Amino acid sequence: MSPAASAIADNELQGLMRRFGEQAVAAQATLARSTSASRDAALREAARAVRRQTADILAANAEDMADGEQKGLSAAMLDRLRLDGARLEAIARGLEQIADLPDPLGRVLAEWRRPNGLLIRRVAVPLGVIGIIYESRPNVTADAGALCLKSGNAVILRGGSESLRSSAAIHAALAEGLRAANLPEGAIQLVPVADRGAVGLMLSGMTEFIDVLVPRGGKGLVARVQQEARVPVIGHLDGNCHVYVDRAADLSMAMAIVLNSKLRRTGVCGAAETLLVDREAPAGHLAALVHALLDAGCEVRGDDSVQAVDARVRAACEADWGTEFLDAIIAVRVVDGVEQAIAHIARYGSGHTESIVTQDAATARLFLERVDSAIVLHNASTQFADGGEFGMGAEIGISTDRFHARGPVGVEQLTSYKYVLEGSGQIRP
């Protein structure tokens, strides 16, 4: 079936997705018995295949980019979609880094002996079959496929229509790795059509096959998955991330962190969307930060105090404080110290990633303890909200859930556990 196909008949789609489900279940049973060495070998061969097939992958991506530009995708969306030699090399290295990670399966998470002599162990096991629904970024195909394989899970990938060709080309490299390691190709499957009906089937029509769903995309996609899914969901909400510059901040450090947090890549979920500046910061700090953002080509939307600094600042509206711009736009507010900064984040934040810039250890500790987001940083850019930067090799996304997995979702977060009990003939009275 051509990866460029956009839709097929309902009965064909249902049959296709059922076959995907059956193959995934069978493959996962094989993966559960596989060795860590075989899974790692598949990942390393997939990395070599990505490098060998660079020209084919880039050609496919060029077609997706041309279609995206014709459809009027935003600059941020096009940046997420774009592949080049450096990004493909990063994908290949990510596959190798995941292969180098310790085997997450079979880990003894806890162990204790009961008074009756029973030895009880809690042992890490795969989740099962994971369905991943994502938008735009073709690198997710490699990251998600690799993380699931490493953790012994089979995965059904449904990428966005805008990246269908790119994802198919990357998936071909993953499939080559599986074949080389004598592992079933059903371990990593990519839905080859853009038909939206495939999403509906994954959400509610494949409960006998799919154990967990992971959405990665905009607020609309995540909301639909969370509302319609009939299996557990590892949620990834929008990244309305904040940087708070405290009165005790070093200005040069603050400047570097703010510019990097906002502008390194504006389309990633860890990009800062709001800057909070302490009203008691030394004179000139606010102006220096605002001027630096504006001069770097970033639109600034601010409160009255911020507007007074530079005529180029636009007035912020209430909606701006809760918006994930994913563009060279930032909302800036002056706050009365760390307590008000914490309160602002609690009201408007999405629970993703927040950073404080300060040389005051007590203020930093208060911020880190009180801000209830998945990732909190002190004197560092919010763009470190990335599984690769955490040493995880890659991540499926940044979970803002409060159960099972929170923060970067890597191989350990894609496992569950079972209890293994060893006795010597004990019976219960």
Residue 195: the pLDDT is 84
Residue 7: the pLDDT is 56
Copy the structure tokens of residue 107.
């880990």
Residue 288: the pLDDT is 98
> Is residue 412 helix, strand or coil?
helix
Residue 216: the pLDDT is 83
Contact 399, 409 (CB under 8 A): yes
For the chain, residues with pLDDT lower than 50 are: 1-6
Q: Of the CATH numbers 2.60.40.60, 3.40.309.10, 3.40.50.300, 3.30.450.20, which one belongs to the domain with range 241-384?
A: 3.40.309.10
Give Cβ neighbours of residue 241 (< 8 Å, ≥ 6 apart).
261, 269, 270, 271, 272, 273, 274, 349, 350, 352, 353, 354, 355, 382, 385
134-172: pLDDT as tens digits:
887 899 999 999 999 999 999 999 998 999 999 999 999
Count of residues in the chain: 429
186-214: pLDDT as tens digits:
999 999 988 889 999 999 999 999 999 99
Q: Which residue is it, tokens 């930093």? A: 364
Locate the domains of the chain by residue range: 10-236+409-421, 241-384
Contact 255, 289 (CB under 8 A): yes
The 8-class DSSP code of residue 359 comes to: S
Handedness of CA 27, 32, 34, 35 (dihedral sign): positive
Q: Is 110 exposed, middle or buried (0-12, 13-18, 19+ CB in 10 A)?
A: exposed
Give Cβ neighbours of residue 110 (< 8 Å, ≥ 6 apart).
121, 122
Copy the structure tokens of residue 191.
């839905």
Residue 136: the pLDDT is 78
H or E element that contains 67: helix 54-71
pTM attached to this predicted model: 0.84
Domains 10-236+409-421 and 241-384 alike in fold: no
Name the CA radius of gyration of the chain, rounded. Answer: 23
Copy the structure tokens of residue 33.
């018995």
Query: What is the fold of 10-236+409-421?
Result: Aldehyde Dehydrogenase; Chain A, domain 1 (3.40.605)
